[in-house]
Amino acid sequence: MEIIQTVQQLQQLQNRFKKLNIGFVPTMGALHDGHISLIKQAREQNDVVVVSIFVNPTQFLEGEDLETYPKKMEADSKICELCNVDYLFAPEISTMYSGDEVLIKAPNIRGYTLEGVKRPGHFDGMLQIVLKLLNLVQPTNAYFGKKDAQQLSLIKLMVDNFFLNVNIVECEIVREEDGLAMSSRNVYLSKDERIDALSISKSLKYAAKQIGSGELDCEVLINSMREIMNKIDIEYVAITNRKFEKIEKIELGNSMILVAAQVGTTRLIDNIWI
């Protein structure tokens, strides 16, 4: 595996990549089994695999955990090596950003609902860095997890709107043995907080069971989920279609149930696609 830190090094590789399928997994590091599942899928489906590790400052709002976001470069590098990654791109902030940037703006509707309400501007910064990375790596396939469902939706929209020549691959959520969705922020949870956090996945599982029994009323489903999560600080429980428009009845094959909650000082998100 080769570690790359500059744009010039990455651009010099493009000649090696000609006529090869390139799989790309962009990350912010602190790699866990969720990331590993993306990398393995990329390895199975492509000739060359590139992983990036970059904690993107423009998608963190004031008061969020940019300074304390877990950084484990040595361990992450070893994980990538064991997963047979070909190139690890780990740039400095000064490499990716200049002092006076052309800015990308998230769409006015889809970018400012749910996650966008609590974190206005977050998706602007996320799209900015993803666009930069896609332009630099020029992958055939780029892999993103379904846990960040709104992020995934906006990336796909950006690819369509800007006519980018890349296939966005949607990858399933990976969970801990107890059902908690994998996240780099799970390390912040105390033992008791982790127990409380399990109510998120339990509520989603219960909602799926209700739907399987024929309950399609969104208000009924949301109320049931809120009862299960009564020990944590719920930010939102929402049921939408795949365009993130709120719906009153479940549309099988076109619906998502999304949760955001604060457990102690840790903000967690999770979802299921129906």
Per-residue pLDDT of 241-251, as tens digits, reads 999 999 999 99
Q: pLDDT below 70 — which residues of the chain?
A: none
DSSP E strands: which ranges in the chain?
A: 2-4, 22-27, 48-53, 87-89, 141-145, 167-171, 233-241, 255-263, 266-273
Q: Which residue has the tokens 């008791």?
A: 192
Q: Going by DSSP bridges, is the β-strand pair 255-263/233-241 parallel, antiparallel, or unpaired?
A: antiparallel
First to last CA, the chain: 39
- pLDDT for position 68: 77
- Neighbouring C-beta atoms of residue 157, cutoff 10 Å: 17
- For residue 181, report the phi and psi dihedrals to the nearest 5 degrees: -65, 135
Q: How far apart are CA 269 and CA 256, in angstroms?
A: 13
Q: For the domain with range 2-171, which CATH number is right: 3.40.50.620, 3.40.50.720, 3.40.50.970, 3.40.50.300?
A: 3.40.50.620
In contact, 1 and 80? CB cutoff 8 Å: yes
Q: What is the pTM of this model?
A: 0.93
- CA 113 vs CA 56, 116, 121, 176, 236: distances in Å: 21, 5, 12, 28, 11
- pLDDT for position 62: 82
For the annotated catalytic residues, the residue numbers are 35
Of 26, 17, 20, the residue nearest 51 (C-alpha): 26
- pLDDT for position 139: 96
Q: Is 148 helix (H, G, I), strand (E, B) or coil?
A: coil
- pLDDT for position 118: 82
In contact, 73 and 51? CB cutoff 8 Å: no
Domain boundaries, given as residue ranges, for the chain = 2-171, 184-273
The superfamily CATH assigns to domain 184-273 is Pantoate-beta-alanine ligase, C-terminal domain (3.30.1300.10)
Q: How far apart are CA 85 and CA 34, in angstroms?
A: 16
Which residues, 6+ apart, have CB-to-CB distance to 220 below 8 Å?
210
